[in-house]
Structure 1
């Protein structure tokens, strides 16, 4: 069963919800999934459930930021000792006043060092029968020492709760000696594609169409940080749909494609009523992709029901999938991407228009050719989906949802 907290009190179904209201509705209706401790290196796409704290100073000691010489005293000349300070070990060298020793990037500065001078700022020679270095005329007097705790100190907050675990978070956690942290997610989903007419393999019979979503929908879900545990294809059958929704699973999400309409073959709403599910949202004011449904299932999972047409399903996935991740993992809102649309048409009927676009010369964005929603040809050259709310006109600044490539 899904690892989800106590379900909240049921509220009336929200019908025809605006795109900019999805986050607020889901945050109010869905409890976050439980936290877990895990190695961040294995949690790409999860969300930090608490701040990431440093467990050590960085650097842990004074080190050389450049290849050069560790020196004791103001110079401008120093006697050079035999030996080299190398990274990852102590040299055993101690500098007295007026002495220097060669040092490499990342090496611990030896006791007595007052500065590190990079190689290109000094010239070599001899003084009193010994090897010596001196500052070049006009060379800057700078210290290329990375001081202990210069980047952060033990106990510092490195990034707050709600941050997405990406490659930079994983790397910083390793540097801070905090490789294990509390996270939520990444979300896991069982996926179902329905439709008597959909065929994945073999020859098409009259009236059948090729499955254009099964092999790519997991890719778009992963772009939203939703992993697919398994993908099933079923005909339009009431009993089979109910059986699939009753499966025992540890996924947090159930994602279905098709059956979101009100036709004779659309059994989803009837099945949800039978099993006691609570429909949270029935329809989003967007086109394509508006015929979608979100529900809380009796076992605590959240159902995301996508429309059957491929382009509509992908639009709904990218718009609503990101909101589901934010609600269930309490992820902080990321910085949005925005662009100006060169050829935007004004949306109608108070619905947000979802438009595949690509960036062209001059930095503006232009719509790619669209020929209906029954395939993904409009995404062939597209780099993002533009969200065009009511009132959008040519040159309007609109939000962009980058597409996975």
Structure 2
């Protein structure tokens, strides 16, 4: 946990309860433009009080008034604020009808000192930043897990059109926004050649509180070194593949240092599904905040894809009212459906062919 200035805390997770240290408002103040009055009218107008300035009158006696702007501090003895539109002023006196106590913002009425206003684990939203500022805070205690990204593959290029036999890295650009959505921070991606010793060296520099996302190398091919390297480093494998399509060769392990390693498949569509399945929940758990991808929303599904006999399918969909409409996808390397999707529909396995009956759960995606 760290104290961050308000300007840099957006998107992080509140690391401790936010408790009001001051009353808001600090003193009784006017809720409307008009006149602070005392007792019954008509009232003699003694002066004018503006927001942010000292009131020229300390106390009002019966039959006295002060012209006030919204937010102005009220003098002692004020029994109501008469709105300007209900007031008639002439010859230094004001008249109008108003009930006692009307249009006064009492000290601490919005927030009393000592009141918890946001709980630990709350995402730091724009509104929460405004609330913190209104309470006089300049910093917030926040948690923002750091994710280091290792992009493996000698065939992967990071800029320009790929040459024949090469592919452009489409996973690295996905992760910073996804990580930020889950409350983390993403370090710049590091290229790692397809050699076990290079991958082991890259994993060895991560700190114990960090999460490492390894893009590629999570399957069982001759260039997939992640599992052997983790074994040599003494890692504890927590998840070794998930029965879902796309994204089944994903992996979750913990190094002896405490570093969490998330292995993502090399195909971009599969990597996105795996990141939503493992990386986002890991970051949410580290920050003790709600997992934004798994809110439990269920909805009817329309589309041609039937259930797989043994694996869960994750299908990109557009959501319209209470229906999810499947988007076309041409395989685990394809991001076209996900790029315009509102969510991924979770299609459970079934050995009965045909359309998915009833309602399906949605995995939310950042939009």
Same fold (TM over 0.5): yes
User: CA 1:203–1:143 in structure 2 vs 1: closer, same or farther (change >3 Å)?
Assistant: closer
User: CA 1:388–1:152 in structure 2 vs 1: closer, same or farther (change >3 Å)?
Assistant: farther
What's the offset of the Cα at 1:134? Answer: 1.3
Q: Distance in 1 between matches of 2:92 and 2:45?
A: 9
Paired position in structure 2 for 1:166: 125
Q: Name which of 35, 55, 67 aligns with 2:33.
A: 67
What's the offset of the Cα at 1:249? Answer: 4.8
Q: Decide whether the 8 Å contact of 1:339 with 1:365 is kept in 2.
A: no
Q: Name which of 76, 91, 98 aligns with 2:55.
A: 91
Q: Secondary structure at the match of 1:341?
A: strand
Q: How does 1:171-250 map to 2 (within 5 A)?
A: 171-183=130-142, 185-201=143-159, 204-247=162-205, 249=207
What's the offset of the Cα at 1:390? Answer: 4.9
Paired position in structure 2 for 1:261: 219
Q: CA RMSD in A?
A: 2.7
Paired position in structure 2 for 1:153: 112
Paired position in structure 1 for 2:308: 348
Q: Distance in 2 between matches of 1:289 and 1:270?
A: 20
User: CA 1:387–1:71 in structure 2 vs 1: closer, same or farther (change >3 Å)?
Assistant: farther
Can you give the 5+ residue segments of structure 1 that lack an aligned partner in the other structure? 1-34
Q: Distance in 2 between matches of 1:368 and 1:375?
A: 11
Residue 402 in structure 1 maps to residue 365 in structure 2: yes
TM-score (norm. length: structure 2):
0.88
Q: Decide whether the 8 Å contact of 1:284 with 1:290 is kept in 2.
A: yes
Q: How does 1:6-405 map to 2 (within 5 A)?
A: 35-73=1-39, 75=40, 77-93=41-57, 94-120=59-85, 122-126=86-90, 129-135=91-97, 143-183=102-142, 185-201=143-159, 204-247=162-205, 249=207, 252-332=210-290, 336=295, 338-343=297-302, 345=305, 347-349=307-309, 351-360=311-320, 362-390=321-349, 393-394=356-357, 396=359, 398-404=361-367
Can you give the 5+ residue segments of structure 2 that lack an aligned partner in the other structure? none
Q: Decide whether the 8 Å contact of 2:268 with 2:333 is kept in 1.
A: yes
Query: Comparing 271-280 with 379-388, which one deviates more in the overlay?
Result: 379-388
What's the offset of the Cα at 1:222? Answer: 2.0
Paired position in structure 2 for 1:9: none
Q: Decide whether the 8 Å contact of 2:206 with 2:212 is kept in 1.
A: no
What's the offset of the Cα at 1:40? Answer: 4.7
Q: Secondary structure at the match of 2:96?
A: strand
User: CA 1:248–1:309 in structure 2 vs 1: closer, same or farther (change >3 Å)?
Assistant: closer
Q: Secondary structure at the match of 2:243?
A: strand
Q: Decide whether the 8 Å contact of 2:344 with 2:364 is kept in 1.
A: yes
User: CA 1:61–1:141 in structure 2 vs 1: closer, same or farther (change >3 Å)?
Assistant: closer
- Equivalent pairs, count: 360
Q: Distance in 2 between matches of 1:203 and 1:178?
A: 48
Q: Secondary structure at the match of 2:127?
A: helix
Q: Deviations over 1:66-104 (max 9, x none)?
A: 21221112x4x3324153211112212132212222211
Q: Decide whether the 8 Å contact of 2:192 with 2:202 is kept in 1.
A: no
Q: Decide whether the 8 Å contact of 1:337 with 1:401 is kept in 2.
A: no
